[in-house]
Amino acid sequence: MDGRAIAIFDSGMGGLTVLHECLVTMPNEDFVYLGDTGRFPYGPRPLDEIRGFALEIGRFLERQGVKMVVVACNSATSAALADLQAELEVPVVGVIAPEAEAAVQATRNRRIGLLATQATVDAGRYGTLVQSLDAGVRFFPVACPGLAELIESAEPYGAGTVEAVRAYAGPLKQAEVDTVILGCTHYPLIRHVLERAFGRDVTLVFSAEETARKVAETLARKGIAHTSEREGVCRFLTTGDTEQFRVRGERFLQFPIAEVELVSLAELRAAA
């Protein structure tokens, strides 16, 4: 039995969707969640810059004594997963491979779409993984600039979000995809908006459930699961406004957050 916590990080609130599924799947594990809201969003940034941010956070979290790091950010996974796995001593799990595998299994007409940030689309990791699993799949990536920011705004379900989703869904509907990967952990927070845009005939693949399953499998395989029956605890960290994170985090996580700790960017840079 390994009682150390599992670390999860994201550019902001989106990774809370992954944390939620992990809490359901592994209720006796402890978790540390870091939202880098002080540098949100990652999506429009160059991949090299995102890679630097991810390495800072990964090294910082490893120094907190965690047993695993989960990169609950598609942009950071695209930019830095291999570097994190090479640099850190603990196992590192990303959100892209589990989604790609689930999408290939789900598609019936072998036409798969992707909605993601510009950085994730530019990195091309989804297309490479999908093609490696089924070379006959037609893959249609669509970048969604501004959508994550709308989701973290004061009106995540407002008219602006609905209009943006319709616009980004348009090319995928024209391509007649039957499966769409939601390649940003923020997007499940507006699941009902996306479901209405695509309809029942299109399968939406969310990273949270698939990633939680991958985390549980990795813990079991490496023999580092926490097997006690007591309920785990969560610790929340942010590089931005702690009260704003607490209020919005509770709304998205649908779970009370008693305290959020501030981590300065200087502390992250020092860890690097």
Residues 6+ apart with CB under 8 A from 19: 8, 31, 33, 72, 234, 253
73 catalytic? Reply is yes
In angstroms, the CA 111 to CA 157 distance is 28
Burial 179-191 (b: 16+ CB within 10 A, else e): bbbbbbbbbbbbe
Catalytic option among 22, 73, 144, 234: 73
Tell me which of 22, 144, 184, 234 is the catalytic residue: 184
Rounded CA separation 81/89 (Å): 13
What amino acid positions are annotated as catalytic residues?
73, 184
